[in-house]
Homo-oligomer: A and B are copies of this chain.
Amino acid sequence: MTGICKQHEIHYRQALKSSRQKATPARLAILEVLEHARHPLSADEIKGALPKGKTDLATVYRNLEMLKEKGWVSALNISSQTAYYELSKLEHHHHLVCESCGRTKALAGCKAAELTKNFLNQKGFARIARHSLEYFGLCKKCERTNN
């Protein structure tokens, strides 16, 4: 898509270096794509947005996996078929997902975390690492086109 902008590139290189990860072109490009994404993307969509289809899908998956482990990227459970990825540097948040077109909107703030505490010492769970809260509906665009 667009090239990598210098600002970001420098930032990413430092982040990668401090985690002892190599700053490969594929990695920088994937981060750049996610940086500009308006909504969470599937691995395939990410590959599609990469400059000149030279990067293999396997590489995309491998990098997403490591970015996820480092906590830089998070995967969403909005489809039981496909994972969608976004940068996790944004404030913790949830989404509205259109069941017709799949478009998502981020929702600021999260009240669900408060609820978490109530569950911690019950139900035989040692600890709760994360939660997912997603709303599914119909965006206005899809409603108009009667989907």
Interface residues of A (CB under 8 A from B): 75-84, 96, 98-99, 105, 107, 111-112, 115-116, 119, 123-143
Number of copies: 2
Contacts A80-B75, A80-B79, A80-B80: A130 and B136 contacting too (C-beta < 8 A)?
Answer: yes
Shortest distance between the CB of A140 and any CB in chain B (Å): 5
User: Which chain B residues border A82 with CB–CB below 8 Å?
Assistant: 80
User: Which chain B residues border A133 with CB–CB below 8 Å?
Assistant: 112, 131-134
A139 touches B115 (CB 8 A): no
Q: How far is the CA of A105 from the CA of B124 in the complex (A)?
A: 9
Which residue of B83, B112, B137 is within 8 Å of A80 (Cβ)? B83
Shortest distance between the CB of A18 and any CB in chain B (Å): 26
